[in-house]
Amino acid sequence: MNLGLVNKTALVLGASRGLGAAIAAGLAREGATVYAAARSVEKVETWRIDLPEDAGPVLPCAVDLSDLKSIDGLVDDLLEKGGVDILINNTGGPPSCTVLDATRSDWLSQFETMAANIFHLTGRLLPAMQARKWGRIITLTSSGVEQPIPRLALSNGIRSAIVGWSKTLADEVAADGVTVNILLPGRIHTQRVDELDAIAARRSEKSQADIAAASATSIPARRYGRPEEFGDVAVFLASERASYITGSKIRVDGGAIRGV
Ligand SMILES: NC(=O)c1ccc[n+]([C@@H]2O[C@H](COP(=O)([O-])OP(=O)(O)OC[C@H]3O[C@@H](n4cnc5c(N)ncnc54)[C@H](OP(=O)(O)O)[C@@H]3O)[C@@H](O)[C@H]2O)c1
């Protein structure tokens, strides 16, 4: 299947490691030009060196998603170059806490970085996509928006708001050839998942390996997903071939979400 990604330009946020890195590498493998954004841009090199010679160019760019000035600086640069065709909205995950422990300031600061700043950045990059009558906006959330995850109160709550934003936007720009979708990772094996398992291990006085094994057993697929498996779904959604998928939430969770 020709995904039609050669000559397309993508901005992938949170691309220094984990899911963002897997998506950025997947897009580059399909020939897209990829702006790979994160705070520690030097880490982009850790996965860029493994790309085949015929991959599209990967251009690391520094951004701090908690800082509006930094975001606007990146967007100004990209708009000067003509904007992007594909936007992968991916942020760092919020700290683990219960609803009872989360303070008003936790909600506000995490909402600003994970939601309000992403809405702002998307709003600035959208008009160029609308003018070209082609665009893809893909936002990563979590399985927690369909089945809230205990002790991830900030993630469950803020990401549910992001789903509402994405669905509303999908309706507003569908006729302009811009698709807007949400991806729901279940348990995909990245450093963040290892860090969350380590926290759970300390809390329960079990080993991290035992926590990970129990977590994997609870998933119908009986294993964590691989970042490339997640990246491949994002690459398809970003492609020419996915032109009639919009306003959707797509699960990549090995069957972990129990509801239909
Ligand atoms: N992996 C899973 O199974 C899973 C499941 C559900 C939800 N999620 C969510 O999906 C997202 C990606 O997951 P992941 O496992 O790949 O997480 P990760 O390994 O922690 O990667 C997060 C990425 O975001 C970047 N980032 C963090 N804070 C940033 C900031 N202020 N400004 C710019 N970039 C920032 C990080 O790079 P720098 O530190 O270099 O900036 C990194 O590249 C997270 O929000 C996570 O909560 C993941």
The whole-number pLDDT of residue 256 equals 98
The whole-number pLDDT of residue 68 equals 98
DSSP 205: T
Each residue of 237-246: pLDDT tens digit?
A: 999 999 999 9
Q: Is 185 in the pocket of ligand 1 (CB under 6 A)?
A: yes
pLDDT band at 21 (very low <50, low <70, confident <90, very high): very high
DSSP 43: G
Each residue of 61-117: pLDDT tens digit?
A: 999 999 999 999 999 999 999 999 999 999 999 999 999 999 999 999 999 999 999
The whole-number pLDDT of residue 63 equals 98
Task: Give how far the C-alpha of residue 141 lies from the chain's centroid of Cα atoms, to the nearest Å.
Answer: 7
DSSP 219: S
The domain segmentation of the chain, as residue ranges, is: 9-188+225-252
d(CA 63, CA 20): 14
Q: Is 156 in the pocket of ligand 1 (CB under 6 A)?
A: no
User: Which protein residue has the closest C-alpha to ligand 1 atom 13?
Assistant: 19
- CA distances 10 to 25, 31, 145, 151, Å, are 11, 11, 26, 33
pLDDT band at 188 (very low <50, low <70, confident <90, very high): very high
| Mean pLDDT calculated for residue range 225-236 | 98
CATH class of 9-188+225-252: alpha beta
The whole-number pLDDT of residue 142 equals 98
Please tell me the distance between residue 223's alpha carbon and the centre of ligand 1 in angstroms: 20
d(CA 87, CA 205): 41
Name the residue with tokens 């996965």: 47
| Strand-pair category, 135-140 with 9-12 | unpaired
Q: Is 117 in the pocket of ligand 1 (CB under 6 A)?
A: no
User: Which protein residue has the closest C-alpha to ligand 1 atom 34?
Assistant: 38
Please tell me the distance between residue 91's alpha carbon and the centre of ligand 1 in angstroms: 5
**Percent with pLDDT over 90 in the chain:** 99
Residue among 16, 46, 118, 163 whose CB has most ligand 1 atoms within 8 A, to mutate = 16
**SS3 per-residue string spanning 124-190:** HHHHHHHHHCCEEEEEECCHHHCCCCCCEHHHHHHHHHHHHHHHHHHHHHHHHCEEEEEEEECCECC
Q: Is 19 in the pocket of ligand 1 (CB under 6 A)?
A: yes
pLDDT band at 259 (very low <50, low <70, confident <90, very high): very high
Contact 255, 220 (CB under 8 A): yes
| Strand-pair category, 33-38 with 86-89 | unpaired
Model pTM above 0.95: yes
